[in-house]
Amino acid sequence: MPAGPNCRTERQSHRDGPPLLKEETLAKIVDAAQSDVATQLGSLEETVLTLAEALLRPHAPQIPAPREASREACRDGSGEGSRI
């Protein structure tokens, strides 16, 4: 089968451009990348589960903050928490 104009043999690649990757070398690179991505996804999954647990955990009822007018009335003594 004749090589097309864009095809390079291994011998030509050293002269005309960057060397071609062998299948074994490429497989090692891909395996390493897949392993790294899997590790990062596992870490991300743990983070998401931790956040979900925190959001779903029941919280103690919160006492609402007093209104600004009520605070001012208490400060100047004109009323004890009366609302305007």
Q: pLDDT tens, 52-73?
A: 999 998 887 778 887 776 666 6
Residue type, 26: L
Q: What is the rounded distance in angstroms from the CA atom of residue 38 to the CA atom of residue 25? A: 20
- Cα–Cα distances (Å) from 14 to 9, 19, 20, 54, 72, in that order, read 9, 5, 8, 57, 82
Q: pLDDT tens, 13-56?
A: 556 666 778 999 999 999 999 999 999 999 999 999 999 999 99
Of 80 and 26, the structure prediction assigns the larger pLDDT to 26
pTM: 0.42
